[in-house]
């Protein structure tokens, strides 16, 4: 991938996190990058094409984070929380998950993006389920049988917690993480 193409994708992710998919234009991107709109169109003919590239970047990041955690030399039982923490760290302070931002705009996305957002959403759940299954085998999770439901709870709580953190600060989000630690005992 060319450097300019990567820059466009990264800036688009930032715009999606800050404004949502619907609230930025190629003109906005061009101004922020100091290039012409034609330069953006050269790499991504339509906004939907750019959106699909963003989805692919998000998917690659999820898969990379999963592999890092899965192969890390930490206790298997600690891997689900570590996966969540890595994702949160990448989002940064006052940030929202770019996938969550796309999910918020889902009904207005082109069909090609809707399909990618669905795939990535399910992938995120599936990856966490795999890590939770390891923790369950180690005896860390004893009271939960439906690991997919637990993954959905953890992911949605994390993303909701990130929204609340923007308003109520880090102390609020710390409480969310403490509850995760208790739940995953």
> Per the domain annotation, does 73 fall within a domain?
yes
Q: Output the six-digit token pair for 169.
A: 């600060």
> Per the domain annotation, does 58 fall within a domain?
yes
Tell me the pLDDT tens digit for each residue of 31-54.
999 999 999 999 999 999 999 999
> The domain that contains 154 carries what CATH number?
1.10.357.10
Amino acid 147: pLDDT? 94
> Per the domain annotation, does 10 fall within a domain?
no
Number of domains the chain is built from: 1
Band (pLDDT 50/70/90 cuts) for residue 182 is confident
> Per the domain annotation, does 31 fall within a domain?
no
> Per the domain annotation, does 34 fall within a domain?
no
Q: Which of 104, 28, 4, 16 is nearest to 58 (CA)?
A: 16
Band (pLDDT 50/70/90 cuts) for residue 1 is low
Q: What is the residue range of 145's domain?
A: 52-183
pTM for this model (two decimals): 0.92
Q: What average pLDDT does the structure give for the chain?
A: 93
Q: Is the dihedral of CA 152, 63, 3, 40 positive or negative?
A: negative
List for the chain the helix, strand, coil content (%; round to 5): 80, 0, 20
């Amino acid at each position: 991938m060319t450097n300019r193409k990567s820059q466009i994708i990264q800036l688009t992710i930032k715009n999606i996190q800050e404004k949502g998919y619907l609230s930025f234009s190629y003109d906005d991107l061009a101004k922020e990058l100091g290039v012409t709109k034609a330069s953006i169109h050269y790499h991504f003919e339509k906004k939907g094409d750019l959106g699909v590239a963003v989805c692919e970047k998000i998917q690659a990041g999820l898969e990379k984070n999963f592999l890092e955690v899965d192969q890390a030399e930490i206790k298997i039982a600690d891997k689900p929380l570590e996966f969540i923490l890595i994702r949160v760290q990448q989002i940064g302070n006052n940030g929202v998950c770019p996938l969550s931002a796309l999910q918020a705009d889902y009904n207005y996305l082109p069909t090609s993006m809707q399909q990618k957002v669905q795939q990535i959403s399910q992938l995120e759940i599936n990856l966490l389920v795999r890590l939770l299954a390891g923790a369950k085998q180690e005896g860390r999770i004893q009271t939960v049988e439906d690991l997919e439901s637990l993954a959905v709870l953890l992911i949605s709580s994390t993303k909701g917690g990130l929204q609340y953190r923007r308003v109520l600060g880090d102390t609020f989000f710390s409480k969310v993480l403490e509850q995760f630690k208790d739940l995953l005992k």
